[in-house]
Amino acid sequence: MQNFEVEFISDRNIRVRQGQSLLEASLSAGIPHFHVCGGNARCSTCRVLILAGKEQLSSRNEKEKALKEKMNFSDEVRLACQTHVEGDGVKVTRIIRDESDIDLYVTTGASFSEMIGMEKEVALCFIDIRDSTHFVATHLPFDVIHIMRKLLNSFYVVIEKNNGRIIDTLGDGLYAVFGLEKGIHESANAALKSGYEILENLELLNRDYFTKNFDQRINLGIGIHTGTVVAGEIHLGNKKQLLVMGYPVNVAARLQNATKELNNNFIISSEALEISGKILSDYPSNVVHLRGIAESVNVHLLGKPYENNLS
């Protein structure tokens, strides 16, 4: 009877006998592999993420197909209790490692394919309201929240229209990502278009609403960058939250802050502008040294100087 080697990432390499399930083999090797239903394809707690060698595994049987459809598993997720190994080179990782993980992946009712972390090249956009401390100090609480609600809603409409997702509101601004479902060229263009539209809408709001009703003119800083990030969904109670993390996120955030230093309300990295298909020489450029970023970054100025230099 033939044996095959399987690597359980973060556990150990094990030998799997022909005809033996991944679950049986891992338990025999002393790996604490969860299997609440006893390996009968009813609970899904034994599921594994296939990192390599998918073609060396048995086809899904009817039990596994039914659970895959019910829970919307991606093709890289298999039930260890129903999966057999037919060749070497398989690498997997357990999804549920202790009892605290069960609620994260079994009882949420979420699409599991949305919850697995993935690498994705995206466009990142940070928006910040300038001089917000003075603004809060000189207006009534109701007025502050009312203006913020008006502003953030106007940002949201533009970003959603251009297929972006708001990841977080940051008190006096927000952070959005473009490209989770689209290609990077289209997404960089969408981020660029959103930045311009947001500033255009702000001009109208300043002229027709904020200045007239609150004697207040709002300034923004917008920074855009592109790069490969890690993205995935988590559940906090009943609320879904998208996480996007990585070095490009830090760069985009620092670029937004650099709008003060450069006295321009909209800047974009040369990398992002080039990906969008624009001609770099058509836009004023500069080099900035960003806090916490080792290398200097080439940027282009797409906006206007602030009426009062905020640097």
Residue 141 maps to which CATH number?
Answer: 3.30.70.1230
The 3-state secondary structure of 235-292, one letter per residue: EECCEEEEEEECHHHHHHHHHHHHHHHHCCCEEEEHHHHHHCCCCHHHCCEEEECCCC
Do 47 and 149 sit in the same domain of this protein? no
Number of domains in the chain: 2
Domain termination residue (choose one: 115, 131, 157): 115
Last residue of a domain, one of 61, 92, 115: 115
208 shares a domain with 67 = no
109 is in which domain, residue-wise? 3-115
Residues 100, 151, single domain; the answer is: no
In a domain, 311, yes or no: no
pLDDT of the residue at 238: 67
* Sign, Cα dihedral of 7, 12, 13, 16: negative
- Residue 112, pLDDT score: 44
Note whether residue 308 is domain-resident: no
For residue 274, being part of any structural domain is answered with: yes
The structure tokens listed for 99 are 């009892």
Is 262 within a domain?
Answer: yes
Is residue 307 a part of any domain in this protein? no
With tokens 């940027």, the residue in question is 299
Gap between the Cα atoms of 44 and 51, Å rounded: 18
**What is d(CA 235, CA 23) in angstroms, rounded to the nearest whole number?**
27
Domain end marker among 68, 90, 115? 115
Q: Are residues 171 and 296 in the same domain?
A: yes
In order of 100, 133, 155, 301, the CA distances from 310 in angstroms are 48, 13, 22, 16
CATH of the domain at 91: 3.10.20.30
My answer on whether 123 and 137 are in the same domain is yes
Note whether 222 and 292 are same-domain residues: yes
Containing 226, the helix (H) or strand (E) segment is strand 220-236
Question: Could you tell me if 265 and 191 lie in one domain?
Answer: yes
**Domain check: are 195 and 72 in the same one?**
no
Q: Do 99 and 133 lie in a common domain?
A: no
Give me the tens of pLDDT residue by residue for the chain, a chain 311 residues long: 799 999 999 899 999 998 899 999 999 999 999 888 888 888 888 999 999 999 999 999 999 999 888 888 888 899 999 999 999 999 999 988 876 676 666 654 444 444 556 789 999 999 999 888 888 888 888 888 888 889 999 999 999 999 999 998 877 889 999 998 889 999 999 999 999 999 999 999 999 998 888 888 999 999 999 999 988 877 666 677 788 999 999 999 999 999 999 999 999 999 999 999 999 999 999 999 998 888 899 999 999 999 765 44
Which tokens in the block code for residue 31? 């790996």
Q: Which ranges of the chain would DSSP assign to H, the alpha helix?
A: 22-28, 62-71, 99-105, 112-115, 132-137, 141-161, 184-205, 211-214, 247-262, 270-275
Residue 310 counted as domain residue: no
Question: pTM of the prediction?
Answer: 0.70
Residue 309 lies in a domain: no
Q: Does a structural domain hold residue 306?
A: no
pLDDT of residue 110: 47
Contact at 8 Å (CB) between 84 and 23?
no
Same domain flag for 141 and 84: no
Does 230 lie in the same domain as 251?
Answer: yes
Q: Are residues 178 and 269 in the same domain?
A: yes
- If one counts every other C-beta atom within 10 angstroms of the C-beta of residue 67, the result is 19
